Amino acid sequence: MAEDRFEALLQTVDRPVQPRAEFAEALLHDLLEELSEEEAGPPALVAVAALLIFAVPFGLMVRSFLHSNRPATVAGQPRITGSVAVGPDPRGVAVGFGSVWVGHRHGRVLDRVDPSSERLVATVRVGRGPGAVAIGFGAVWTANGEDGTVSRVDPSAGRVVATVDLGGQPSALAVSAGFVWVTEPSTNTVVRIDPGSNQVAARIPVGRGPSGVAATSGAIWVTNAQAGTVSRIDPSRDRVTQTVRVGRGPLGVAAAGEVVWVANSIDGTVSRIDAVSGRGTATIRGVGTFPQDIAAGTKVVWVASATGNEVILIDPRTNVTVWTVGVGLQPDGVALGYGSLWTTSSVDGTLARIAPVTAPPASPSTG
């Protein structure tokens, strides 16, 4: 029912999803259209939904500023060990070539941070709005949501060596199975790029609002924010072979071994999917409000909670949250590397380093 969807979407006003605002706006427009078409749709709901379309961007920012930073205080708990100013609205983060790479939702800059000195050492001019970053095929790749392109950066030369024109609003990338995979929410597709030719090789229809992408052995996994599902793509056939229902508003997705982890932004949960069977095996709660991104290893899973201004560690052995670390305002991107967790805070304009990120303790603890 439209009223049920309205109740769920109303909760997003209290959650700062500015880095993923394109999905919140699309959800609200869909809701308004559905309410308008239903004969029994209460006029009051139609009016309020219309108001939300204009009120959400303002409300999200105000809500974010109301939260305070809460540093870790428990002995032995992972904590912030360093912070780097990387400019306005950082979003995507990836680790590779001895560096941490940070993209921004606006602008045309890809930042390169030295993890040893924790200093910004270089910037690379890429396409507009490089909100997502991935590593592979000897290159750093950025999805540029504001000009519909993907940039290929040579890390040795420190410059763009190829630009792939996708059109639309590319929002996430993954590198696997010999190709680069890019979500494109405006057409509800995943674009497969051949790194040998730097050309589009295929466009694969998926669910509504593809927002995140990850890879396991023999499969590409795509979160569909508006559909509340995950699409499983067979990379050898360029088509969806399975659709898995998860929580509401799935955004970030990560894979480790044969497990896929999904951050459900509206539900405030994480879904665990068995990559072999394609079935959901657990739903983890206690991951903060509006989880946006997720990073996974075989022994640790980290979730960025945007409104909580914190990152939460899940023990994959027990599917229980074990640590919470306060970070900057509106954490969005997370990545594991160099013995640390790296997280961007879009309002603060910072990249934080959190350590240690070894296997969590045997007994759950929070701070």
Q: Each residue of 150-191: pLDDT tens digit?
A: 999 999 999 999 999 999 999 999 999 999 999 999 999 999
Q: Each residue of 286-308: pLDDT tens digit?
A: 999 999 999 999 999 999 999 89
Residue with the bigger pLDDT between 48 and 110: it is 110
Sheet holding 350-355, edge to edge: 79-85, 350-355, 340-345, 331-337
- Quote the percentage of the chain above a pLDDT of 70: 77
Token pair, residue 37, equals: 């078409």
Q: Each residue of 317-349: pLDDT tens digit?
A: 999 999 999 999 999 999 999 999 999 999 999
Q: Evaluate if residue 110 carries a pLDDT over 60.
A: yes
pLDDT, mean of residues 261-284: 97
Confidence at 27, pLDDT banded by 50, 70, 90: low
Q: Evaluate if residue 350 carries a pLDDT over 50.
A: yes
Confidence at 358, pLDDT banded by 50, 70, 90: confident
pLDDT given for residue 145 in this prediction: 97
pLDDT given for residue 320 in this prediction: 95
Nearest Cα neighbor of 95 from 111, 77, 80 is 111
The lowest-confidence range among 42-56, 103-117, 218-232 is 42-56
Q: Evaluate if residue 45 carries a pLDDT over 60.
A: no
Query: Is residue 342 within 8 Å of 325, Cβ to Cβ?
Result: no
Question: Could you tell me where the beta strands, DSSP code E, fall in 145-208?
Answer: 149-154, 159-165, 172-176, 179-184, 189-194, 199-205
Confidence at 282, pLDDT banded by 50, 70, 90: very high
Residue with the bigger pLDDT between 177 and 10: it is 177
Q: What is the pTM of this model?
A: 0.83
pLDDT given for residue 357 in this prediction: 86
Domains and CATH numbers, the chain: 2-66 (no CATH), 79-355 (2.130.10.10)
What is the distance of C-alpha 281 from the center of its chain?
A: 21
Nearest Cα neighbor of 92 from 264, 296, 346 is 346
Report the residue count for the chain.
Answer: 367
The lowest-confidence range among 73-87, 117-131, 157-171 is 73-87
What's the chain's average pLDDT?
A: 85
pLDDT given for residue 276 in this prediction: 96
Question: Could you tell me where the beta strands, DSSP code E, fall in 28-98?
Answer: 79-85, 90-96
pLDDT, mean of residues 195-202: 98
Confidence at 52, pLDDT banded by 50, 70, 90: very low
